[in-house]
Amino acid sequence: MKKRVAIFISGSGSNMVRLVEDMADPDHPAEAVLVLANSADAGGLAKARALGVPTVSVDHRPFKGDRPAFEAALQTELDKVNPDILCLAGFMRVLTESFVAPWEGKMLNIHPSLLPKYKGLHTHARALEAGDAEHGCTVHMVTPLLDDGPILGQARVPVQDGDTPDTLAARVLPQEHRLYPACLRHFAAGDTSRIDL
């Protein structure tokens, strides 16, 4: 039986598209069963529909900061498709411990830095400010602590003279698109060996 995967997005969904395209391979151990966004305006929703994946949006704004109520609405949508694995792909809402705890060991995230460096936001600018020679991205298991769980894989890129946060982000994103599908394929097959690109 293929593992059922739900994917959470907030924006353009380029990582989501790579995950879904990779899962189109008949030999892939998983299948995409839902793409959920926290805004109906997320550009990735139309891309998911074009790839034949059911979509739904649960807008966080009407909940006015009531995280438990927002997360209950997320879980209600997940219960409808009963996924085995949850992938966060550019999902920009921080999930609370009460939502994460039941999903621990089954939820993955991609973060645009070489964790444990630069948890949180503005990772490219912070790597430049620190004068780092290399930067990259990380796929990790999600735990209640932000950007903190066990690492499944990392991809590294050189920081070049004259780099700006935008040029660095543009060098990291294609690596994200290679790393996340590779890590999900491994994870869904039960292979927890680390991937380094």
Contact pattern from residue 152 through residue 181 relative to ligand GRF, giving x for each residue in contact according to CB under 6 A and a dash for the rest: ---------------------x--x-----
Active site residue 111: yes
Interface residue with ligand GRF, options 5, 11, 48, 99 (CB under 6 A): 11
Site for ligand GRF in 94-123 (CB under 6 A): 110-112
Interface residue with ligand GRF, options 29, 83, 90, 136 (CB under 6 A): 90
The alpha-helical segments, DSSP class H, found in the chain are: 14-23, 44-50, 67-81, 97-100, 123-129, 165-188
Which one of the spans 14-22, 25-33, 153-161, 184-192 is the region binding ligand GRF (CB under 6 A)?
Answer: 14-22
For residue 100, give every residue at least 6 positions away whose Cβ sits within 8 Å of its Cβ, in sequence order, or none: 107, 142, 143, 144
Q: Give the angle 18-93-9 at the CA atoms, nearest 5°.
A: 20
* 36 lines the binding site for ligand GRF (CB under 6 A): no
Residue showing tokens 């735990």: 143
Interface residue with ligand GRF, options 3, 15, 34, 186 (CB under 6 A): 15
* 19 lines the binding site for ligand GRF (CB under 6 A): no
Count CA within 13 A, CB hemisphere, residue 120: 5
**Which pair of structure tokens corresponds to residue 111?**
């973060």
Residue numbers at the binding site for ligand GRF (CB under 6 A) = 9, 11-16, 89-90, 110-112, 173, 176
